[in-house]
Structure 1
Amino acid sequence: MRKVLALLLLRANQVVDVDTLAEELWDDRPPQNGTGTIRTHVYHLRRALAQDPATRELAEMLTTERTGYLLRLQPEQLDATLFTEYVEQGRALLRQDRVEDAARRLREALGLWRGRALANTSVGPVLSRHVTYLDEVHHHALELRIEADMLLGRHRELVPELRSLIAANPLNEWYHDQLITALHRSGRRGEALAAFHDLRRVLNEELGLEPSEEAQRLQHEILMADGRRGARAVAVPARFRAVS
């Protein structure tokens, strides 16, 4: 029943057909009377929702359609919908050079994220695809917010967060690039070079690769920067400004 509700929520305002529900519940091994079992699941779901005052409105919004079931919701009623909308708004603001507004909107989006999507649900193949999509959007939102903060000059504040992200994602070269840049722009030239060498070591040990051209360019600019130019010599990588 939890899977059925999750799928109806994530596909709010769309008819979820019986075949899609069967794929989620049983993958390619549906029972002989799968349609009847789905009907029973939806019946019990309606009853459970109607019995709780907090969810009674959802029971009224769940309708049976010719090919499946439809849950009607307003966008603000579902965090996942709000989250993706806020991320898109933040990206648009960043493209318009409204950096402060973009950072604020992206923080609001990330504030809606409370751990991995559907962490309390045993997901099947259909919900797994939704979880993967939401994880990708979350990752993108985080990178956009970091880019906005870099453009706003919040380099020192970003260093601890970037170190934490690298610890959790050691092969994410973009995080390494941002850390190198943030350290250099904070006047920590030696630590920036050490961060580059950490990146080189990790890539070599894990993948047998050298850092990207962008990372090597950052190292070169740090080495070439003189005392007068200092940290201003390194440009912030703008990976997402050209995204359309």
Structure 2
Amino acid sequence: MRFSVLGNLEVRSPRGDEVHLPPKIRTVLSLLLIRRGEVVSVQQLIDEVWPFEPPRTAPATIQTYIYQLRKVLDGAWCGEPHGATLSTASSGYVLRVAAEDIDAVAFERRFLAASRSFHSGDYEPAEGALDAAMALWRAEAFADVPRGSLLEAYSTQLEEARTQALELHIDISLKLGRHLEAVRRLKGLAVAQPLNEGVHTKLMHVLNRLGRRDEALTVYLRFRRSLATELGIEPSPAAEEVHRRLLAGDFTTSDRTSVPSAGQGFFVAPAQLPPGTTDFVGREQQLSTLGRLLGRHGDGSRLVTLTGMAGVGKTALAVHHAHTLRRTFADGQFFATLRQAGAKPVDPSVVLGEFLHAIGFRAEQVPATVEARGRLFRSWCADRDVFVLLDDAASEEQVRHLLPAGARCGVLVTSRSPLYGLGGKTVDIEPLPTGDAVTLLGRLVGMPKTEIERRTVREMVSLCENLPLNIRAMGAKAATQGHLPLDKLAARLADRQYRLDEFKCGDLDLRGRLTRSYESLSDRARRILRLLGRYAARLFTADDVAPLLKLDLVQTEMVLEEIFAERLVLAGSSGLDRDHYVLLESTRIFLMEQEGDAATPAEAS
């Protein structure tokens, strides 16, 4: 069975018969195809089929769609083998299909082969591979498929690859001496992408090389007018320099016989995202929520704040999801850590300066004040697809200076405390479910093979309280201290006196991160938190602890809200009522270490 997505979605049997599918089933199949061999959760399918308001019957309807797809893929309608299977997994469905049966995969492989041949100097084989790759395209990817955020992101990725293939074709034509062919392709690409500076600058170079300087100057004027009309900006300094040299006629012979390859010497969209973790697990619900809020067809809210206690994995989740959005926000992805190593907040003016330099502004073009820098950054972003990831934010005021402007921009912030004054949406991150936590530790130390090993891993995860930072610290220790078996590490971890020491390995340090949250509290809140650490149960309410603290209920609720804002207690998790609080054992151990841990209830008041 063959699947074609580079145009309208087409499904054909081994005999070549086309299968016609309703729109929503096309969406389901398309998502399964781009995630072939991976589990696609029911929730992800629901979010993709109904991006805005899924019906209450959505899970049952998805099951119906899967049943109908299976009837097609099982070949019952033609009685022939098909080479594609749709299986049920614990949390969703898996489509297994041979890579060569999907045209998008074939395109990517041929494009890669062409790129390798080109960079090896084998231009004619590169041209043949590229011709075969481009022949697979019939129209826009998934042209007749209703798309949610995941399909839209993948479609954008394919379209970007298609553009890169076209630019590579131009480079091949130039290397083979087919300059007129290159001009024809460049002019077509310039019409299709009137704001693509790299294409227009290259066209200017090629026309000048052919002795058509007047046309090259006309290309610049047309491009500059388009930028001014559509974006209200001027061409980059690099493009202005090409124009200046064309006017002066001072291109050297080597200039006239050398044309930069695609992307060389021109503006490159900032891609500042840090690398993601290769062993990321779980968080399907949060990833689905982020996809809905930040995707191309989101619900209108393009600012999301991830909150959660120290070590819960906010940054890992944010970076992991940000990488899935690179094609959605193709004009640039900016990243900044908003606290220095000593937890001191970073000056937003410094961050804006780094952003503006990455865009291409020279030092003398960057304003002095944070307000002016913010205005310039917002102006540049206004009509672009830009994503900003701000990690470990200290305050709303700090973040507010760094926000881009424009409906096509997206912002993801991580912060221990909620930043409600910014607007947007807040997603609270809790410790991993036990199954995912066990999987994470297994990936770090090796999946357990015996029941004793499985029991040891579960015990370690429990002592880590399902916090990714703690689990990673133990995984790192297991890797660097290979002479210690897991049961020895588990025994050391069981000793409360040294547990926080075990949760430190390199820059993974739960104690250090709890310290920062603790020091952010008022003196009174710190005293009360120490009392809770000594006397409160793991699960408690304001009513439970008010007599212990010798405070009235309103005062107790207010101080608990301050403590919760720093996520030194958790609230409302695992189906608990919102007025319940949870004090983790690792936080309790930390509190017992603090100076003055012999506090008495009388100190609270």
Alignment TM class, shorter chain as reference: 0.7 to 0.9
Structure 2: how far apart are the matches of 1:180 and 1:89? 29
Structure 2: how far apart are the matches of 1:240 and 1:93? 18
Instruction: Verify: 1:132 aligned to 2:156, yes or no.
Output: yes
CA RMSD of aligned residues (A): 2.8
Structure 1: how far apart are the matches of 2:244 and 2:123? 28
Structure 2: how far apart are the matches of 1:140 and 1:133? 11
Report which stretch shifted further, 185-194 or 216-225. Answer: 216-225
Q: Which of these residues, 107, 123, 126, is aligned with residue 131 of structure 2?
A: 107
Q: Deviations over 1:14-51 (max 9, x none)?
A: 22221211111223533334332211111111223434
Contact conserved, 2:205 with 2:256, CA < 8 A, in 1? no
In the TM superposition, residue 225 of structure 1 has moved relative to its aligned partner by 4.1
C-alpha spacing 1:162/1:52, structure 2 compared with 1 (3 Å)? farther
1:131 partner SS: helix
In the TM superposition, residue 52 of structure 1 has moved relative to its aligned partner by 4.3
Per the alignment, residue 212 of structure 1 pairs with: 236
Q: Deviations over 1:27-86 (max 9, x none)?
A: 35333343322111111112234344498615x522222222222122211001111222
Structure 2: how far apart are the matches of 1:82 and 1:105? 11
Specify every segment of 5 or more residues in structure 1 that has no aligned partner in the other structure, as ranges. Answer: none
Instruction: Verify: 1:224 aligned to 2:250, yes or no.
Output: yes
Report which stretch shifted further, 23-32 or 119-128. Answer: 23-32
Bigger Cα Rg: 2
Per the alignment, residue 196 of structure 1 pairs with: 220
Instruction: Verify: 1:19 aligned to 2:19, yes or no.
Output: no
Report which stretch shifted further, 97-106 or 109-118. Answer: 97-106
C-alpha spacing 1:103/1:216, structure 2 compared with 1 (3 Å)? farther
1:115 partner SS: coil
C-alpha spacing 1:31/1:218, structure 2 compared with 1 (3 Å)? same
Q: Deviations over 1:164-186 (max 9, x none)?
A: 22222211112211221222222
Structure 2: how far apart are the matches of 1:89 and 1:27? 36
Amino acid at match of 2:258: A
Per the alignment, residue 211 of structure 2 pairs with: 187
Contact conserved, 2:198 with 2:263, CA < 8 A, in 1? no
Structure 1: how far apart are the matches of 2:43 and 2:125? 43
Structure 1: how far apart are the matches of 2:263 and 2:80? 39
C-alpha spacing 1:241/1:55, structure 2 compared with 1 (3 Å)? farther
Structure 1: how far apart are the matches of 2:46 and 2:80? 24
Structure 1: how far apart are the matches of 2:135 and 2:94? 28
Contact conserved, 2:168 with 2:262, CA < 8 A, in 1? no
Structure 1: how far apart are the matches of 2:80 and 2:44? 24
Report which stretch shifted further, 28-37 or 164-173. Answer: 28-37
C-alpha spacing 1:3/1:192, structure 2 compared with 1 (3 Å)? same
C-alpha spacing 1:234/1:209, structure 2 compared with 1 (3 Å)? farther
Percent identity at matched positions? 36
1:224 partner SS: coil
1:160 partner SS: helix
Amino acid at match of 2:261: A
Contact conserved, 1:181 with 1:234, CA < 8 A, in 2? no
2:198 partner SS: helix
Structure 2: how far apart are the matches of 1:214 and 1:55? 59
1:70 partner SS: strand
Amino acid at match of 2:82: E
Instruction: Verify: 1:70 aligned to 2:94, yes or no.
Output: yes
2:90 partner SS: coil
C-alpha spacing 1:35/1:203, structure 2 compared with 1 (3 Å)? closer
Structure 2: how far apart are the matches of 1:200 and 1:128? 30
Amino acid at match of 2:88: T
Larger proportion of strand: 2
C-alpha spacing 1:193/1:240, structure 2 compared with 1 (3 Å)? closer
C-alpha spacing 1:213/1:154, structure 2 compared with 1 (3 Å)? farther
Per the alignment, residue 425 of structure 2 pairs with: none
Instruction: Verify: 1:145 aligned to 2:169, yes or no.
Output: yes
Report which stretch shifted further, 172-181 or 46-55. Answer: 46-55
Amino acid at match of 2:182: L
Q: Which of these residues, 44, 67, 71, is aligned with residue 47 of structure 1?
A: 71
Contact conserved, 1:151 with 1:236, CA < 8 A, in 2? no
In the TM superposition, residue 216 of structure 1 has moved relative to its aligned partner by 3.2
C-alpha spacing 1:129/1:225, structure 2 compared with 1 (3 Å)? closer
C-alpha spacing 1:112/1:170, structure 2 compared with 1 (3 Å)? same
Contact conserved, 1:23 with 1:126, CA < 8 A, in 2? no
Instruction: Verify: 1:235 aligned to 2:258, yes or no.
Output: yes
Report which stretch shifted further, 82-91 or 214-223. Answer: 214-223
Aligned length: 239
Amino acid at match of 2:167: E
Report which stretch shifted further, 171-180 or 231-240. Answer: 231-240
Structure 2: how far apart are the matches of 1:56 and 1:24? 29
- The alignment's TM-score, normalised by the length of structure 2, stands at 0.36
Structure 2: how far apart are the matches of 1:10 and 1:144? 25
Structure 2: how far apart are the matches of 1:234 and 1:214? 18
In the TM superposition, residue 12 of structure 1 has moved relative to its aligned partner by 1.6
Structure 1: how far apart are the matches of 2:237 and 2:257? 14
Per the alignment, residue 57 of structure 1 pairs with: 82
Structure 1: how far apart are the matches of 2:245 and 2:53? 58
Contact conserved, 1:159 with 1:179, CA < 8 A, in 2? yes
Specify every segment of 5 or more residues in structure 2 that has no aligned partner in the other structure, as ranges. Answer: 1-24, 269-605
1:61 partner SS: strand
